[in-house]
Amino acid sequence: MVRIIKTDNGQELIFEYAAGVLDEARRFMIEAQRQVNAQCKADIDLCEDIGGYLLIKDCGAAAMKPSARDKMRALLDDVMDDDGQHQQTMRSVSESQCAATVDMLKSFGLRGELIDHLERSCRTGGAQSNWSKLTNAVHFVNVDSGCSKSKMRLVRVAAGTQIPEHSHRSEEITLVLKGSMDDEFGHYEAGDLIVRQE
Amino acid sequence: MQKNKAVTTSDAKSLNALLHDVGQHKDKDAFMSLFDYFAPRIKSYLLKGGLSEDEADELAQETMFMVWQKADSYAPDIAAASTWIFTIARNKRTDFFRKSGRAIVQPPENFYDLKSEETSPFDSFYDQEVSGDIDEALKELSAEQMDIIKKAYYEDKPHAQIAKETGLPLGTVKSRIRLAMEKLRKALDARGHVRADQEEGGR
């Protein structure tokens, strides 16, 4: 039996994301939601503004080591000449074999470091980076959750079809990236986050 | 703490403008002014999270170096420099704990009372930059709400762990945070606090 414990677009997860206490897998989910859900983004922006405020107004200042300033300036001097070469290296990344998957995710509005992670995950995932068939209507691809305790996968469900009934031993977080879906508890549109627990 | 003597109070640029200059012009002097201001604050933030002196010092430097590297993606009309740099420090801290797999050390009880050990002529100037809206909105929180918010931000602990350590029921921790955020959102809405990217519909 699946029980929904939160359908509030993950307000608690959003706060924990902004405070930096989520594990990698949950962090990816909330980052993805931020990119496709305007309200989620506004909530995170507010929480991060508070973080910036606390950093300046509340944290206090702890003296750096006396050598810190010189060390930083020396580091800048070193990298100034290397910057051009570094950019060149970044651009020469080999063509991804899973470009289609990445393009699809970009078309849903995902971007930035999240897309970089997913692309890297696809590229290094070997056979795991191929779409697998669960049923004729449901395909999935595993991606690196960045966290040994969690698994993350992209799931593609053909319009008008059903995901086979299933259960999980622990928490399941679903972010609708495109289209909409229904379950026994409600209707969800793109950008909605559903957190379920057995 | 040494200060960048090239910048004086009268001509000091705003933090946002300094960060913008770093991003657009690789301005080292502007960066060092940011370093002088932010590195000690980031170190303090990391110490509150349970890092040792050496770890906090090192990670504060790594954070500032990442600020240098990524500054070209900073847009002052979208976020304050303090917010932008906070997110980098926060992610660095998260990565540190993830990679080290180390238990988080409980900071001393009076750590929240830590205030600046050092001040500079620039501090009060920069402090004025912090959004007055947020300053005012946070004053509307109760002491209990503010305490929970700080615990969540500083100690790198999920709500369940805060509940365990404070002896409060998990539901109470969650509701205090939720109510605090609702109060802040309402207070900011009442002040017409809208970020530029929210008006445009996306960062």
Chain-chain contact of B82 with A55 (C-beta, under 8 angstroms): yes
pLDDT at A91: 33
Is pTM beyond 0.90? Reply is: no
Residue B45: exposure state from Cβ atoms within 10 A (0-12, 13-18, ≥19): buried
Q: Are A155 and A140 in contact (CB under 8 A)?
A: yes
pLDDT at B202: 37
Q: Is the pLDDT of residue B119 over 50?
A: no
Of A20, A73, A80, the CB nearest to B91: A20
Which residues, 6+ apart, have CB-to-CB distance to B29 below 8 Å? B4, B6, B7
* Mutual angle of helices B28-48 and B15-25, in 10-degree steps: 120
Of B2, B47, B158, the CB nearest to A21: B158
Residues of B in contact with A81 (CB under 8 A): none
pLDDT digit string, tens, across residues B152-201: 888 767 778 888 888 888 888 888 888 888 888 888 888 776 654 554 43
Average pLDDT over residues B19-27: 92
Q: Out of A173-182, B33-42, B98-107, B164-173, which region has the weakest mean confidence (pLDDT)?
A: B98-107
Chain-chain contact of B82 with A56 (C-beta, under 8 angstroms): yes
Task: Please tell me the number of Cα atoms within 13 Å of B91 on its side-chain side.
Answer: 16
Nearest CA-CA distance, residue A138 and chain B, Å = 31
Q: Is the pLDDT of residue B62 over 70?
A: yes
**Residues, chain A:** 198
Res. B6 pLDDT band, cuts 50 70 90:
very low
Average pLDDT over residues B57-61: 94
In percent, how much of chain B has pLDDT > 70? 72
Chain-chain contact of B153 with A52 (C-beta, under 8 angstroms): no
Taking residue B118's Cβ as centre, other Cβ atoms within 10 Å add up to 13
Residues of B in contact with A52 (CB under 8 A): 79-86, 130
Q: Are A12 and A26 in contact (CB under 8 A)?
A: no
Q: Are B83 and B75 in contact (CB under 8 A)?
A: no
Taking residue A65's Cβ as centre, other Cβ atoms within 10 Å add up to 15
Taking residue B11's Cβ as centre, other Cβ atoms within 10 Å add up to 7
Chain-chain contact of B130 with A47 (C-beta, under 8 angstroms): no
Tokens of A65: 């080591």
Q: Are A174 and A194 in contact (CB under 8 A)?
A: yes
Q: Flag residues of chain A having pLDDT under 50.
A: 1-9, 84-97
What are the boundaries of each domain within chain A?
A: 4-196
Q: Is the pLDDT of residue B107 over 90?
A: no
Q: CA-nearest residue of chain B to A72?
A: B61
Residues of A in contact with B36 (CB under 8 A): 69
Q: Is the pLDDT of residue B22 over 70?
A: yes
Residues of B in contact with A21 (CB under 8 A): 94, 152, 156-158
Chain-chain contact of B91 with A46 (C-beta, under 8 angstroms): no
> Rounded to whole angstroms, how far apart are CA atoms A177 and A33?
8
Q: From B85, B87, B88, B81, select the one nearest B18 (Cα to Cα).
A: B81
**DSSP helix/strand/coil, A133:** strand
Chain-chain contact of B1 with A51 (C-beta, under 8 angstroms): no
Place of tokens 């993606």: B73
> Rounded to whole angstroms, how far apart are CA atoms A130 and A96?
13
